[in-house]
Amino acid sequence: MTETVDNIRNVAIIAHVDHGKTTLVDGLLRQSGALGTRPPTGEDADRVMDSLDLEREKGITILAKNTAVTYETTDGSQMKVNIVDTPGHADFGGEVERALTMVDGVLMLVDASEGPLPQTRFVLRKTLDLGLKVILVINKIDRSDARIAEVVNEVEELFLDLDADIDQLDFPIVYCSAREGRASMNRPESLDDLEDDLSPLLDTIVDHLPAPRHDPEHPLQAWVTNLDASQFVGRLAMCRVLNGEIRKGQTVAWCRSDGTTEPAKVAVLYVTENHERVERDSAGPGELIAVAGIDDIGIGDTLCDPADPRPKDSITVDEPSLAMTIGINTSPLAGRDGSKMTARLMKARLDAELVGNVSLKVFPTERPDAWEVHARGELQLAVLVETMRREGFELTVGKPAVLTREIDGKIHEPVEAVSIDVPEEHLGAVTQLLGIRRAVLANMVNHGTGWVRLEYRIPARGLLGFRTHFLTETRGTGMIHSVFDGWEPWFGQIRSRDRGSIVADRSGKTTPYSIVSLQERANLLVGPTEEVYEGMVVAENSRSEDMDVNITKEKKLTNMRASGSDNTEKLIPPNRLSLEQALEFVADDECVEVTPNSTRIRKVHLDAGERARKLKAHKNASAV
């Protein structure tokens, strides 16, 4: 026998990156009074859900977060809608999978122009597998290039392609502009056809999504789906109360995901109201809560009745497909920027990351000061490294590499589904770039607007270092999105970088005289008077081989003067690589030195003689 909690709805917002999830949540919070009204200047607390500095800087959601909106329904009753905002980038799919365990339905946002993209397919597949109800939200209907009817048809085809059942195919459609905070149930011709607020969306959530169900005879069961921390009470376990009631000060059975059980006390209990946590004495079924007082609690654990503990299964997510080595900084310039340099501190930091990030794995290496980190993608690894550098760490980061697995006696590698939008004039250059990376064209659509959409399946290692070349070839106009799409037999050799490196052969400061002689045949990564060391990559060579140079060489002075000998030379500004660009750029025998203030590329072996011996040994081994 089950009962429903009719005054609560738990819903997650899922979509491809940049389709407007966080903006929609901000609109709901604003209209509920949590953020106040938008002033004429528009300078209020937008994107309140993206609270991390990195989220605001990159314009993406990295961690899933929940908020709550209180809504008065048409019959006058008060309804609490718990909303979980999820990341849209494929690298943070673990956050999405975890968030879906907390809810009973989803809002699937789709851009009215771009339509469903690879991450849309990924999150919808997870949603359908869990049997959750879906509300389709066509967002950004006010875009000048909106194609609403075509996008709805594409979404319906996606449902059919993912083998949705009859009930899942019966989904309502809401049309909205999250930026303007307006929505409608009827297909609009323009922004003026929408209602003045988002009440049609909230009414659809209340009417279409199921209320939380529970067994009134079932003992307490609160499932830990996420972790957070407070400077006042320490670690917080984010839970959904599945059955029973949990109270502040209560002693519960803490059932770990490894099968062990021990008593624990609920020191503080929080629920979410608007975008703030509010302390409560108790919480019942269907509520999303935060519990403090259990220091070592982990994701997938269950808080149960001590007299009758019934734990839930542990949370599992898709396996990582990319690996990267992270170690302490071993360059000659180590220790100048950071405050955290030791292997002990780094190991403790990586262990702490594992507690709240179920899609990350860390393994030891042959070196005691380096570890191999497995993750979903380059962006997830770059975010981890960027977070650590901001905390004061100095790191040496190796080139990302794909993970392989043996299936039926053959080596298989991860494959990505890639969706690319490019102007027609760049179509030839993009197809050539993808062709040498073993990509297979699955579909090509020309919408007649001067843009072409290409859909490919490509080995994940073919995308390593691809985005920089892609943006260069499309003059920064192309858009690329990818998501994991299974395992395929090894595709063979892929040459992703066709240019060598120019390497400093000694330590010192770079001179304008040396830079002038190099800049015509190389893409410089350093400027004048910068400190370099032997083995540091200072430029990208125009040819395929590496070259050692003396970039610290000064012009010899003489007592002779000649007409025109002292003409001013123009220095070309260096190409300053971001962390993500540096990780894409590095070759197999290179790594990235990351400090709080600098990002440098260097050879793994700094000594030129040692590099030559390693290269010779590698060639001999390959010949055998």
pLDDT, position 327: 93
Nearest-angstrom CA–CA distance, 173 and 138: 7
Checking DSSP bridges between strand 173-177 and strand 133-139, what pairing results, if any?
A: parallel
On the question of pLDDT at 449 being above 50, the answer is yes
Which tops the pLDDT comparison, 483 or 517?
Answer: 517
Q: What are phi and psi of 338, to 5 degrees?
A: -90, 165
pTM: 0.72
User: How large is the average pLDDT for residues 13-24?
Assistant: 78
On the question of pLDDT at 526 being above 80, the answer is yes
pLDDT tens by residue, 189-204: 888 888 888 888 988 9
What is each CA distance from 403 to 322, 344, 374, 411, 612, in whole angstroms? Answer: 5, 27, 8, 10, 28
Asked if 387 and 356 touch (Cβ cutoff 8 Å), the reply is: no
On the question of pLDDT at 53 being above 70, the answer is no
Q: Does domain 405-489 have CATH number 1.10.3720.10?
A: no
% of the chain at pLDDT higher than 90: 20
On the question of pLDDT at 55 being above 80, the answer is no
pLDDT, position 134: 92
Strand partners, 213: 4
pLDDT, position 465: 74
pLDDT, position 623: 60
User: How large is the average pLDDT for residues 593-597?
Assistant: 92
| Helix ranges, 325-443 (H) | 343-356, 378-390, 427-435
**Residues 6+ away with beta carbon under 8 Å from 151:** 110, 111, 112, 113, 115, 116, 138
Domain boundaries, the chain: 3-210, 215-304, 405-489
Confidence class for position 536, pLDDT limits 50, 70, 90: very high
User: How large is the average pLDDT for residues 280-284?
Assistant: 90
Confidence class for position 318, pLDDT limits 50, 70, 90: low
Confidence class for position 397, pLDDT limits 50, 70, 90: very high
DSSP 8-state assignment for residue 393: B
pLDDT, position 93: 55
Q: What are phi and psi of 571, to 5 degrees?
A: -90, 130
User: How large is the average pLDDT for residues 277-295?
Assistant: 88
On the question of pLDDT at 345 being above 90, the answer is yes
On the question of pLDDT at 38 being above 50, the answer is no
% of the chain at pLDDT higher than 70: 88
Confidence class for position 65, pLDDT limits 50, 70, 90: low
pLDDT, position 62: 45
Checking DSSP bridges between strand 78-85 and strand 3-4, what pairing results, if any?
A: unpaired
* Architecture in CATH of 3-210: 3-Layer(aba) Sandwich (3.40)
Which tops the pLDDT comparison, 36 or 515?
Answer: 515
CATH homologous superfamily of domain 215-304?
A: Translation factors (2.40.30.10)
